[in-house]
Structure 1
């Protein structure tokens, strides 16, 4: 295959580069910004895509952020590639604060202030593990005589997933709007500057051709 990597990376390297890409997150952020600036669509359409990507980062649908952001951008008539790139806002460095903010907001909106939201240091992690074990055990129960037990998954849904989903809406919209209004003038300025450079190059090329004909 033409695009197949010649050097096959070991699993540990793939996992590590997921957490810490080559060159660090600063370089990855510059790459994303560069790709966003060079998209061919109008700035407003790109900015709508960025809104969709940033908003999606506040949802608990991990593994589906690309699909959800692209679908949301399509509905908003935004750039779908910009939406996918903007999901970079949610990364291993921001997942914890995003999750804490979303869950605390969700507990507040659902009137569960008397119940302390699971913290990311212990309780939340245990609920993720227990829910995963529950799911695995129930999948095995489909092919064995074991009885399915959805108790830990129900607890995970009630205390983690649903509050996270509801609580991520408001901060997701706020951050998405901020990203929209910050990116719009930057992308507009970049595209205008690029158009100016291209016009100058075209004018210089025409002048050179005209001088060649005169000679």
Structure 2
């Protein structure tokens, strides 16, 4: 095999690497950010795609995040690949946090207060075992209301950050390419600066 280890990893090394990777936990996030920055679409399209994916990640529609993100990105003239990649905001680590946050914010928006505090495990247990008609009032309605508020806020923030990042990345990349080519940028002349 081409990329096989020279020395086979021992069992304790494999267990340690499973729980604590050699390259760290931030490597996948850095890779994802670079992949999004390098998309060839306009800064608005990339940012709109990321915003659509981020919004859909806050909804309680588990399993439908990518479909919702693609539909929203299409409606906003966003990049579809950026939308699909941005749905990874909802991952096994963040889904419990997002679910509890949207549930609590939704309760506050709707003026509902549950009799006792609901933990993430209880919330997922209800989502798994109750019928849709039983879930609507106590769980889904508050989660959708909270997802609307938190999702729009996160989408607006991600749109602004992504648009700024893509514009500055492309400007730096263009400057590097011009410098490598040894070309001096010609000054841009306004209509009144024409020379004879």
Q: Distance in 2 between matches of 1:160 and 1:96?
A: 14
Q: How well do the aligned residues superpose, as a CA RMSD in angstroms? A: 2.4
| Greater alpha carbon shift after TM alignment, 35-44 vs 22-31 | 22-31
CA distance in 2, matches of 1:53, 1:22: 29
Displacement after TM superposition at 1:67 (Å): 1.1
Following TM superposition, the consecutive aligned residue runs of length 4 or more in structure 1 with deviations greater than 6 angstroms are: none
Asked whether the equivalents of residues 48 and 79 of structure 1 are also in contact (C-alpha less than 8 Å), the reply is: yes
Residues 145-192 of structure 1, C-alpha deviation per residue, up to 9 Å, x if partnerless?
A: xxxxxxx44222322222211210011111111111222221111111
Q: Normalized against structure 1, the TM-score is what?
A: 0.69
The superposition leaves residues 56-93 of structure 1 with CA deviations (integer Å, 9 ceiling, x where unpaired) of 11101111111111110111111111111111111111
Name which of structure 1's ranges 178-187 and 46-55 shifts more when overlaid on structure 2. 178-187
CA shift at 1:101, angstroms? 1.1
Worse overlay, 59-68 or 103-112: 103-112
Alignment partner, residue 127 of structure 1: 126
What does residue 84 of structure 2 align with?
A: 84
My pick for the range that moved more, 74-83 or 109-118, is: 109-118
What is residue 139 of structure 1 aligned with on the other side?
none
What SS is found at the alignment partner of 1:168?
A: helix
Kept after mapping to 2: 8 A contact 1:107/1:117: no
Structure 2 CA distance for aligned equivalents of residues 119 and 188 of structure 1: 41
Match 1:184 to one of 163, 168, 179:
163
What are the residue-to-residue correspondences of 1:95-174 with 2, within 5 Å?
95-116=95-116, 118-121=118-121, 123-131=122-130, 152-174=131-153
Partner residue in 1 for 2:28: 28
CA distance in 1 between counterparts of 2:48 and 2:126 reads 35
Deviations 1:6-64 (A, max 9, x none): xxxxxxxxxxxxxx999554111011101111000111221111111111111011111
Q: 1:56 to 1:117 in 2, by over 3 A?
A: farther
Q: Retained in 2: the 8 A contact 1:73–1:80?
A: yes
Aligned residues: 165
Matches within 5 A, 1:32-47: 32-47=32-47
State the partner residue of 1:4.
none
